[in-house]
A = this chain, B = another copy of it.
Amino acid sequence: MSKRILISDIAKSLGVSVTTISFILNGKAKEKRISDALTNRVLEYVKKVGYKPNQLAQSLRTGQTKILGLLVEDISNLFFANIAKHIEESSYASGYHLLYCSMGNDTVKARELIQLFYDRQVDGFIITPTEGLEDVVALLLKNNVPVVLFDRYIPQVETNYVVSDNFNGSFRATKHLLENEDNRRIGFVSLYSDQTQMRDRMDGYMKALDQYQRQAYIKKIQIDEQEDIAMAQIFEFIEDNKLDAVLFATNYLAITGLKVNKKYGKLPAMVAFDDHTLFKLHEPAISVVSQRIETIAEELVKVLLRQIRNPQADVKHIVVPCDLKIRDSSTAKIK
């Protein structure tokens, strides 16, 4: 580990040229017709002295950093944290490391970070595109930087993405609620957001209602709304419309919903989008549409590496099914 040893040191010690060693280390011995004898001698020596090439020099020369940029909305969100974990594991297995960051809903920071990571010459990007990033992503593509989006995508930009089947997840969850005859009025709580996952979740809800010819009750909350205001709005939504059941479009909204219940003691049957460690333990246990996090992460890395290795590869759109997990909150009313 100490006194970094260079390829030139090895060359000197062995009385061979730097070029030869580089060829051997990069597996080009055969191709470059380096004799087996010398190849082995070098390999052995390299191992003995524990030489590790300087990544920076290597990257500077080859233009490859073996680093991927992971830009998520919020790494402290359980969904993203879990994805991040699996992405890291998959990448590690392929010799890639990850530079990460949370962008929040700060478009300026997001743009800057994409630029910064680009300047650092990451080999590819994994991004949850927040609103206002369309042009930056388009620019990356124009510069032939491999990109894969997830959780949501940008319709007007033709790039790789891996998303959950939000439509069907939502559709099935709503249908599940509709199947219970007690649930006459079923509401949907979502966010003011044009992101695809939100749109798809709403469409799924609508489709199910349409099949049963029922009225839709939809309440949208401002994205960074203060919690108590959001709570009041949800409470009012439920009260005023005398809802029997609610489908929450995100994990966080569902938690806010639970807080409403805690405070006002009033929550109808419900299903949440995205599972959460403690939903199972809640009283009653919360039914959820859960996303296949591991699959999503694996696909993300697979798609991105494919693009990195073959820049001509055609764009991939991967839709991963969701799983409806029926627990108590949707079968028995809360309290």
Where the two chains meet, the residues of A that have a C-beta atom closer than 8 Å to any C-beta of B are 1-2, 52, 54-57, 59-60, 65, 67, 74-78, 80-82, 84-85, 88-89, 92, 97-102, 109, 113, 115-121, 139, 142-143, 255, 258-259, 262, 276-283, 285
Contacts and interface: CB of A to CB of B under 8 A. Distances in A.
Interface core residue of A54, A120, A121, A279 (most chain B CB under 10 Å)? A120
A65 B101 CA distance: 17
Given A92-B101, A255-B277, 11 more contacts: A1-B143, A54-B121, A75-B88, A76-B84, A78-B78, A81-B81, A97-B116, A100-B100, A259-B281, A262-B281, A262-B285
14 contacts: A1-B118, A2-B143, A52-B119, A55-B119, A57-B60, A75-B81, A77-B81, A85-B102, A92-B101, A97-B99, A100-B100, A255-B277, A255-B281, A282-B283
Contacts of A89: 102
B281 A281 contact: no
Contact of A78 (B59, B81, B115): B81
A47 to B, nearest CB: 15
Nearest to A97: B99
A99 B88 CA distance: 10
A328 to B, nearest CB: 11
Copy tally for this chain in the complex stands at: 2
A1 B139 contact: yes
A77 B82 CA distance: 8
Contacts of A276: 277-278
A56 B61 CA distance: 9
Closest 8 CB pairs of A and B: A81-B81, A278-B278, A76-B85, A56-B60, A283-B283, A76-B82, A76-B81, A258-B281
Contact of A55 (B88, B97, B120): B120
Contacts of A139: 1
Interface core residue of A102, A142, A143, A276 (most chain B CB under 10 Å)? A102
Contact of A121 (B55, B84, B120): B55
A88 B99 CA distance: 10
Contacts of A283: 282-283
Contacts of A258: 278, 281
A58 B278 CA distance: 47
A290 to B, nearest CB: 15
A51 to B, nearest CB: 11
A74 B85 contact: yes
Contacts of A1: 115, 118, 139, 143
B75 A101 contact: no
A101 B98 contact: yes
A55 B55 CA distance: 13
A1 to B, nearest CB: 6
Given A2-B142, A119-B55, A84 B75 contact: yes
A313 to B, nearest CB: 21
A60 to B, nearest CB: 4
A89 B74 CA distance: 11
